[in-house]
Amino acid sequence: MLIHLIAAARPNFMKIAPLYHALKKEEWATPVIVHTGQHYDLNMSDAFFNDLGLPEPDLHLGVGSGTHAEQTGQVMITYEKALMQSRPDLVVVVGDVNSTMAATLAAVKLGIEVAHLEAGLRCFDRTMPEEINRLVTDALADILWTPSPDADENLMREGISSDKIHRVGNIMIDSLEMLREKIEKQRAYKEFGLNPDDYGLVTLHRPSNVDNEDVLKSICEILARIAQKIPLVFPVHPRTRKNLEKNGLMSLMNETPGMYNVEPLSYTRFMNLVFNCCFAITDSGGIQEETTYLEIPCLTMRPNTERPITIHQGTNQLCKLENLENRIENVLSGEVGQTGAIEFWDGKTASRVVKSIRNQLLG
Ligand code: UD1
């Protein structure tokens, strides 16, 4: 059975890796990695493939950057051609990036079955491009693999038949567990002269935080103040770097004592920084989940989250910019949030997905 795994942007790579490795072991499955090229830099893509033990993609669509319509359209056009040349039995899309939705559209229109891994997440905020991608992908996919009960409920509320929905858990925890030893060996914090539990980790790249000059300037000023109290390591996403440079803010960030601004890091080096930080400030989806699993306080700089379980059963809290300094004080004085194991966030999601494919498609 020919199975396409769509990899496009950085947060996708750690979601397809465990599944690729699990499918490779199955006699009946031929997994093929399709890289759309949405992320193309060495440190946004290749470094992840290396760390995660993924081979060179079998198919590279070379789409690159562009507006939303350009990126979505390019993936549809190029992927449709690839599908017509060699028709897979199943297309697996992950997460919520533009390529996830685009590959789904191209495949379903050719009558090819699509499965969505990380289905059902909703933040109910349609100004977020990812929410549109999630809604469209879930409305069209034939198999919906969800990470948590809230995701099942969202899908049912949208009228999706329950026999399409299969709760398999959180695949990112599989990558984390698969590479735990390598991650623990890294000691990435040492490169900045830092010690475990003695720094905060920052990642910010959402358009709502980094595209507006005034918002970005306020964020930089507040981070600079926090860095006077506790060092901050900030791997800077290309979108964020572009905007910092355009608005003349990169020098403020570089001149601030205690602020370590670096290029995006490979998976294992970055995760080593997560393992050892005393808090994370982020607007990423994945980091809300990884910190919950690791029981590390996480301040999410967004008005909402599609991952509410990380708040109710985890260490995550939504935070407004004006409250950030106070919240950091609380965290430093020991406030962690509720923690407890979440069902199926256990490193065994890939094997549940393989079982689901076998049951659904091989009968
Ligand atoms: C995308 C996803 C987002 C995900 C994020 C993780 C969508 C709508 N957004 O946002 O959900 O959280 O990836 O990183 O799909 N760039 C580079 N090098 C690269 C990739 C991008 O320089 O390898 C630049 C692009 O030129 C562009 C900017 O970064 O200017 C943004 O890239 P893009 O893929 O459009 O969106 P992200 O903000 O990365």
Residue nearest to atom 21 of ligand 1 (CA): 39
Mutate to test the pocket of ligand 1, among 40, 65, 290 (most ligand atoms within 8 A of CB): 65
Is 205 among the residues known to form the active site? Answer: yes
Between the CA of 73 and the centroid of ligand 1 the distance, in Å, is 16
This prediction has a pTM of 0.97
Ranges of each domain in the chain? 2-169+345-361, 181-332
* Per-residue tokens: 207: 């358009």
CA dihedral 285, 291, 297, 303 (to 10 degrees): 10
d(CA 28, CA 5): 16
| Residue-level length of the chain | 363
Rounded Cα–Cα distance for residues 233 and 201 (Å): 5
3-state secondary structure the chain: CEEEEEECCHHHHHHHHHHHHHHHCCCCCEEEEEECCCCCCHHHHHHHHHHCCCCCCCEECCCCCCCHHHHHHHHHHHHHHHHHHCCCCEEEEECCCHHHHHHHHHHHHCCCEEEEECCCCCCCCCCCHHHHHHHHHHHHCCEEEECCHHHHHHHHHCCCCHHHEEECCCHHHHHHHHCHHHHHHCCHHHHHCCCCCCCEEEECCCHHHHCCHHHHHHHHHHHHHHHHHCCEEEECCHHHHHHHHHCCCHHHHHHCCCEEEECCCCHHHHHHHHHHCCEEEECCHHHHHHHHHHCCCEEECCCCCCCCHHHHCCCEEECCHHHHHHHHHHHHCCCCCCCCCCCCCCCCHHHHHHHHHHHHHHC
Q: At 337, list the tokens.
A: 């949030």
Q: Is CATH 3.20.20.140 the right assignment for the domain spanning 181-332?
A: no
- Number of C-beta neighbours around residue 131 at 10 A: 18
Is 2-169+345-361's fold the same as 181-332's?
Answer: yes
pLDDT value for 329: 95
Instruction: Write down the pLDDT at residue 240.
Output: 98
Sheet holding 2-7, edge to edge: 59-60, 30-35, 2-7, 90-94, 113-117, 143-146, 165-167
pLDDT of residue 331: 95
Q: Measured between alpha carbons, how far is 99 from 45 in angstroms, rounded to an integer?
A: 14
* The CATH number, out of the four listed (3.30.1160.10, 3.40.50.2000, 3.40.640.10, 3.20.20.140), of the domain defined by the range 2-169+345-361: 3.40.50.2000
User: CB within 8 A of 158, min separation 6: which ones?
Assistant: 135, 138, 139
Q: Could you give the count of Cα atoms lying within 13 Å of 195 in the half-sphere of its Cβ?
A: 2
Note the pLDDT of residue 336: 74
Ligand 1 atom nearest 68 alpha carbon: 8
By alpha-carbon position, which residue is closest to atom 26 of ligand 1? 65
- The CA distance from 251 to 253, in Å, is 5
Give the span between the Cα atoms of 69 and 60, in whole angstroms.
20
Give the closest residue to 347 by CA, choosing from 194, 200, 176.
176
Q: How far apart are CA 126 and CA 129, in angstroms?
A: 7
Neighbours of 37 (CB within 10 A): 22
Q: What are the pLDDT digits (tens) for 80-97? A: 999 999 999 999 999 999
Per-residue model confidence (pLDDT) at position 54: 97
The candidate with the shortest Cα–Cα distance to 215, out of 225, 205, 200, is: 205
| pLDDT at residue 178 in the model | 98
Q: What is the pLDDT of residue 340?
A: 82
Out of 43, 97, 121, 243, mutate this one to test ligand 1's pocket (max ligand atoms within 8 Å of CB): namely 97
Active-site residue, selected from the candidate residues 39, 166, 205, 237: 205
Nearest-CA residue for ligand 1 atom 28 is: 239
Tell me which residue has its CA closest to atom 11 in ligand 1. Answer: 97
- 156 alpha carbon to ligand 1 midpoint, in Å? 31
Nearest CA to ligand 1 atom 30: 239
Using CB distances shorter than 6 Å, the residues near ligand 1 are: 9-11, 38-41, 44-45, 65, 96-98, 129-130, 205, 237-239, 242
Low pLDDT (below 70) residues in the chain = none
